[in-house]
Homo-oligomer: A and B are copies of this chain.
Amino acid sequence: MAKITKRDQDYSQWYVDLVTRAEMADYAPVKGCMVIRPWGYAIWERMQRALDDMFKATGHENAYFPLLIPESFLKKEAEHVEGFAPECAVVTHGGGKKLEEPLVIRPTSETIIWAMYKKWIQSWRDLPLLYNQWANVLRWEMRTRLFLRTTEFLWQEGHTAHATAKEAQEEAERMLGVYRTFAEDWMAMPVLSGAKTDAEKFAGAVTTYTIEGLMQDGRALQAGTSHYLGQNFAKAFDVQFQNREGENQYVYATSWGVSSRLVGALVMTHADDAGLVLPPKLAPLEVVIVPILKADADNSAILTAATRLAEPLEDRVRIKVDDRDNVSPGWKFNEWELKGVPVRIEIGPKDLEKGQAVVVRRDTGEKTPVDQGQVAVHVQDLLAAIQPALLEKARRRLEAGCRSVDSFDDLKATLEADGGFVFAPWCGEAECEARVQEETKATIRCIPDDAEPCEACAVCGKGPATRVPFAKAY
């Protein structure tokens, strides 16, 4: 098994090597599209299950809305069409005939959903509507990368309708909190969070909230967004309700989403030069047992011992005995390292003599001989320890990647030299934000809730300003 490119040689190539060679994804024959292979999909399934449980625990229900949206719907919200129309795939023919009105493949579903909400919402009794859908969406992309940016991607999109601005605002913030918790507790990925600037917000939103991770190469990655939409879509689709006082009023809205790009974020948060490193909670397999088999020998005692080690763990962890006889133990070690399985157990003839097995941690490489009778307990403790250890390691990297500067020169120099999140004072003007982007390619990733007040903008020197994180981003 040939090695993948090393990170310090070419981070971008390392990523592609890893994702393709670990059989997480492959390029599709359609430009910009990907195939998610079983190993990558199993990670996404675990993410889906965890998120779906969290959405349901916060009162949301799943529904499914059509893939195809009449082109005219997109045009009803002025900012929305400007943002999304250029990215759409357009269906012009169906059933062998030219369509009267072209249909776009959903780039996001606000418009079709609000067209339906108009049918379903009449009174305050119908509110709130707390719906989510798991779906594929399509945005025509020029430069694509497996998982991170593809023309078609998988995601979930929540779309809620509320009687008051306050409720909708709270909902948008609550779901950002759910994403933040998911990122930390499941992905072991610490994030910055806050509102987007007007230049960076969702097309059609009043406010966009975001969580932002820091990848190993110093670039930021937007990992989830939650939008307070105000009455923009309710007005565009004329969705009014009768309030408790009998007055007609436009409905308030939110939408929020995370996508299969989270799988890419997971790779670039934990993986190393040997391959993927998976947090146990999201690993399709938590433990693999590799019996050290010899060619042309009687391996039955080893295979029996391997099976006995697995038995007490089978109901508790996702485990498998890799008993293939057509590849060597070393080949298997490399393969499971590449695929990021958190714990490997090796058992060979010498271990058998000593009544032990060797437990190997994927994240640190640490090898520990363990009495066979203690393996089950040891492995469960280890898995419980690996999850927070990965978060802690990623948190230290995030903290080390956050730097603070006051001048534009320092901002440029630090972005150039170190990457990461460079916090600098900003006056709030779009012009200053644009100038930084022109000269450094870095954008303001979010305005943190607790942003420090400063006297002078790093770009124009005017005040008041607040300290916000700039970064180059995926």
Contact = CB atoms under 8 A, between A and B. Distances in A.
Contacts of A151: 94
A105 interface: yes
A166 to B, nearest CB: 22
B41 A64 contact: yes
A323 to B, nearest CB: 15
Nearest to A141: B95
* Chain A contact surface mostly: mixed
Given A61-B42, A96-B86, A326-B125, A28 B66 contact: yes
Interface in A52-79: 61-70, 73
Contacts of A95: 86-89, 140-142
A102 B103 CA distance: 15
Interface in A76-94: 86-94
A471 B29 CA distance: 42
Nearest to A130: B38
A217 interface: no
A156 B103 CA distance: 25
A92 B94 CA distance: 11
Contact of A116 (B28, B94, B102): B28
Contacts of A326: 125
B93 A28 contact: no
A68 B38 contact: no
Contacts of A91: 89-92, 105
Q: Within the oligomer, what is the number of copies of this chain?
A: 2
B38 A131 contact: yes
A119 B326 CA distance: 21
A146 to B, nearest CB: 12
A45 interface: yes
Contact of A64 (B35, B89, B115): B35
B36 A64 contact: yes
Interface string A352-382: 0000000000000000000000000000000
Contact of A33 (B66, B90, B135, B141): B66
A138 interface: yes
18 contacts: A26-B119, A26-B120, A29-B73, A30-B66, A30-B68, A33-B68, A34-B66, A35-B65, A38-B131, A67-B105, A67-B136, A68-B89, A68-B138, A68-B152, A89-B94, A89-B103, A92-B93, A105-B105
Interface of A: 26, 28-30, 33-38, 41-42, 44-45, 61-70, 73, 86-96, 102-103, 105, 112, 115-116, 119-120, 125, 131, 135-136, 138, 140-142, 151-152, 154, 326
